[in-house]
A = this chain, B = another copy of it.
């Protein structure tokens, strides 16, 4: 078959990302298959390559979608809190919750790695930075004015801290080590750091 008028390029892109994301959510990165996605959206595998260029391109697009959903989840949570609430705690909880609810899609963000010599596309970087920026805003609000300029580096470090706890929770390391309350531990480490910045 040749060119069909079923969908525009943009629509087709959206359909494949959407079904691909569903697939990733259900079976996880290890069992994800580009061919299976093609089959489910009713196009051939060749078309998927036509739109995304490569397998890596498809995965990046799907992971990009996950990052968008993550940002939405985080913003929705913060939106529900006022300025008096412990908003950073809310952000940490949202980090864990999103990862647990969408564990396969979330894990795929880290299971997939580009070849060593290839940089992620700019659109992907922007989505990561967007999440970091939201958190940074909350971190900055908790620092004394004289140290506000350190908010970016502290935020990166706190993200890594929370990520480590979240990752060990979802990959089974904490189960092996009999850790019962990883979320509380993550909150405690963040509190420890902030105590020194005020």
Interface of A toward B, CB cutoff 8 Å? 28, 30, 107, 110-111, 113-114, 120, 125, 128-129, 132, 153, 156-157, 159-165, 167-168, 171-174, 176-177, 179, 182, 185-186, 188-189, 192-193, 195-196
Contacts of A176 in B (CB 8 A): 120, 125, 128-129
Separation of A164 and B196 alpha carbons in the complex (Å): 20
Number of this chain's copies in the assembly equals: 2
* Given A168-B160, A171-B110, also A189-B179 (CB < 8 A): no
Most buried by B among A113, A161, A193: A161
Contacts of A129 in B (CB 8 A): 176-177
Are B156 and A163 in touch, CB under 8 angstroms? no
Nearest CB in chain B to that of A168: its residue: B160
CB of A186 to closest CB in B, whole Å? 8
Contacts of A173 in B (CB 8 A): 128, 160
Nearest CB in chain B to that of A196: its residue: B192
* Cross-chain contact of A157 among B28, B107, B188 (Cβ < 8 A): B188
Contacts of A30 in B (CB 8 A): 113
* Cross-chain contact of A114 among B153, B157, B172 (Cβ < 8 A): B172
